[in-house]
Amino acid sequence: MTRATLVRANLGRHKRRTILTVLGLGIALFLFVTLQTFLHTLRSVGEIGSETRLVVTNKLGIVFPPPLAYRARLQAVDGVESVGYASWFGGIYQDPSNFFANFAVDPEYLAMYPEIVVSPEHREAFMADRTGAVVGVRLLDRFGWQVGQTVTLRGTIYPGDHDFTIRGVYSAGRKGFDETSMFFHHRYLEEIARSQGMDGVVGWYVLKVSDPDEAPAIAEAIDKTYENSSSPTRTQTDKAFNLSFIGMYGNIGFFLNAIGMAVVFAILMVSANTIAMSARERFAEVAVLKTLGFSDGDVLRIVVAEAASIVGLGLLLGLGGAFLLFNVMDFDMGGFAPGLTVSPGVALVASGAAALIAIASAAIPAWQAARLKVTDALRYVA
Amino acid sequence: MPLVEVRDVRKVYRRDTVEVPVLDGLNLDIEEGEFLALMGPSGSGKSTLLNLLAGLDSPTSGTVRVGGEEISSMKPKRLAAWRARHVGFVFQMYNLIPVLTALQNVELPLLLTPLNKKQRREHAETALRIVGLEDRMHHFPRQLSGGQEQRVAIARAIVTDPTLILADEPTGDLDARSAEEILDLLSRLNAEYGKTIVMVTHDPHAAERARRVLHLEKGALVDGAARPVAAGATAAAGAANAGEVAR
């Protein structure tokens, strides 16, 4: 028998109530960790972009593609080493719930992204096949595909069923980089687009600049060149481009944080009520403990330990569940949020939130129990 | 020198703006090894006096000394530590912790001592053996009869080998047979182990088991109420057995 035995025995007093409270805390903390992880991953994506790459899009937005004819003129701009381009294809594999990003890219594009690591054999095989595709390793695993397999995507922008042969697999050359996309030849897209009268344009250009310090001047020069054209451009760093995607969600950081705080606050109320109820029911026992010689501090520590145990179990459930789901099972919300990983930072924030819940929940009942006058409590019970 | 010295103790409770005197200038000495019964009508101050002796309450004025230490002016933290060492309390309603076994309930006060886990268990088993419940040590309170629960409560009260055992109506919630068993046990603790016992009771039959009976009325001891120590084993003889539990 130790003090821990007493705490454990008290937790087992109303098993159903304890289990439900732990489950409630677990689910709330799981939700909190998931929201924070999603937010953290979004921010990480924004951080991934390179300062030596510039992205050129239509000034009006990515849905208005600039002409393919810009390529040669962009290549001629001073300070630009190479030009690549890509277009969003928007193909669906079997069912919309199987969503994943699929892009048409020119050969230069992949070369400009050292983050996309493809073996020389796979790169060669991809280059040699007009309908070839390179897919991320997580995407390959997700659908159990194999190299050499033909997959059919149903076009949403370019109607019809389109076949692609997987010729290569890429992995991320940098932590946090997406491994769930598919790249195929832009010239194949142009064939598809030509038959539908949508050829001659690209989604965006990517420029590699020789000196990152010159990037702002180059960007300004390009945008000035096309200022009065039918397709004015917006040139920004790769990083800014990625962040603008996140910006499309609106102030998602504030939104997710607000939901997270609301979840924590709601569960704090539930937890505080449960712990207060549990402590109040046992005032007579607290009086007995004090009669036996337990000090106010001893009693306070017992109530706090009980609250900490409940919240700790909830944290284990919520944080452990999220870790298992995202870090071990690689759950990506059906392809909507690939690369979700519970980071040590998020785990620390969740632990902090749990500690806050435990302290705030236990504060009043622990104080009341510690201050309880034995004679009053015994008289009340009698 | 008496073990317990109560001097000019007044206790006044305040209810809203009204002051209710409960004890009024009370003086009392209790010798080591005594078995004292406190009787009196409801509201006479018996339980209040018991709480003062246990250090659960403090007098409005006057002093309470136990074993030479003045407990009436101790700070709460020190008083709690003093209580853990010197007081074993037996409640009318047993007040066992329902989620702990008999053995764990008895071990509870030992958590406040420097004994290790093994020693705590051994002491608790000895205490349960003394009250005759060694075969019920793993039972929870709900699995015991009222009399057995009270015996566990007595084991809990003696396990630290306290200076004083204070019992507040220990037979008040028991049937006649169980009450008799509890009174036998208290008598034995006094006679064989030399424990000093102060028992509050309404029951004259229970009070007869004490060596001295005091009557309280309206917060004061009634003149001539004290009955001489009954014949039987002396405190000195019993003192030889004292400390067996703690050893």
pLDDT value of residue A334:
60
CB-based contact A5 B103, cutoff 8 Å: no
* Structure confidence by residue, pLDDT tens digits, B214-233: 999 988 888 544 544 443 33
Average pLDDT over residues B70-90: 93
Nearest chain B residue to A282, by CA:
B97
Bigger pLDDT: A336 vs B169: B169
**Contact with chain A for residue B111, Cβ under 8 A:** yes
Closest-CA residue of chain B to A297:
B77
Chain-chain contact of B104 with A293 (C-beta, under 8 angstroms) = no
Which of A10, A284, A295 comes nearest B95 by C-beta?
A284
Residue B232 DSSP SS3: coil
Confidence of residue B243 (pLDDT cuts 50, 70, 90): very low
Alpha carbon A42 to its chain's center: 5
Distance CA A221, CA A235 (A): 9
Cβ–Cβ below 8 Å for B77 and A297? yes
Average pLDDT, chain B: 88
CB contact under 8 A, A288 and B80: no
**Is residue A171 within 8 Å of residue A137, measured between CB atoms?**
yes
| Closest residue on chain B to A14 (Cα) | B99
Inspect the interface and report whether the beta carbons of B97 and A284 lie closer than 8 Å.
Answer: no
B108–A291 C-beta distance less than 8 A:
no
Position B247 confidence tier, pLDDT thresholds 50, 70, 90 = very low
In chain A, the N- to C-terminal Cα span, in Å, equals 28
Report pLDDT for A379. 65
Quick one: closest CA in B to A298, which residue?
Answer: B112
* Per-residue model confidence (pLDDT) at position A306: 92
Alpha helices in A81-214 (DSSP H): 107-111, 120-128, 137-143, 186-195
The confidence band for A47, taking pLDDT boundaries of 50, 70 and 90, is low
pLDDT tens readout for residues B150-168: 999 999 999 999 999 999 9
Residues of A near B (Cβ–Cβ under 8 Å) read: 1-3, 5-6, 9-10, 12-13, 284-285, 288-298, 374-375, 378, 381-382
CA separation for the pair A308, A359 (Å, rounded): 8
Contact A2 B156 (CB under 8 A): no
Distance to chain B for A28, nearest Cα, Å: 29
Reported as a pLDDT band with limits 50, 70 and 90, residue A267 is confident
State phi, psi for A152 to the nearest 5 degrees. -110, 130
Q: What's the complex ipTM? A: 0.87
pTM score, two decimals? Answer: 0.72
The per-residue pLDDT for B147 is: 93
Q: Higher confidence at residue B120 or residue A255? A: B120
Alpha carbons A336 and A219: distance in angstroms, whole number: 32
Pairwise pLDDT comparison (A165 vs A177), residue with the higher score: A165
Residue B235 pLDDT exceeds 60: no
- Residues in chain A with CB shorter than 8 Å from the CB of B76 are 295-296
The residue with tokens 């007040």 is B95
Please give the average per-residue pLDDT across A89-97, as a whole number. 91
Separation of alpha carbons A254 and A216, rounded Å: 30
Strand partners, A88: A103
pLDDT at B234 > cutoff 60: no
How confident is residue A279, by pLDDT bands cut at 50, 70 and 90?
A: confident
Region A183-194: mean pLDDT is 94
In which region does residue A114 sit, left (phi positive, over 0), alpha (psi from -120 to 50) or beta (all else)? Answer: alpha
Residue A168 pLDDT class (50, 70, 90 cuts): very high
DSSP per-residue string spanning A348-368: HHHHHHHHHHHHHHHHHHHHH
Q: Which amino acid is at B29?
A: D
- Chain A residues inside the 8 Å CB shell of B113: none
Each residue's pLDDT tens digit, A368-382:
888 888 887 776 554
Answer with the residue of higher pLDDT: B239 or B210: B210
Token pair 């008290």: residue? A10
> Contact A289/B85, CB-based, under 8 Å?
no
Interface membership of B193 toward A (CB under 8 Å): no
Higher-scoring residue by pLDDT: B226, A78 = A78
* Tens-digit pLDDT profile for residues A101-158: 999 999 888 888 888 999 999 999 999 999 999 999 989 998 999 999 999 999 999 9
pLDDT of the residue at A310? 93
pLDDT at B233: 36
Q: Which residues of B touch A5 (CB under 8 A)?
A: 100, 104
Indicate the pLDDT class of residue A244, thresholds 50, 70 and 90. confident
> For residue A376, what pLDDT is reported?
79
Return the domain boundaries, chain B.
Answer: 31-56+75-239
- Range B31-56+75-239 has CATH code 3.40.950.10: no
CA–CA min distance A356, chain B (Å): 28
pLDDT of residue B146: 93
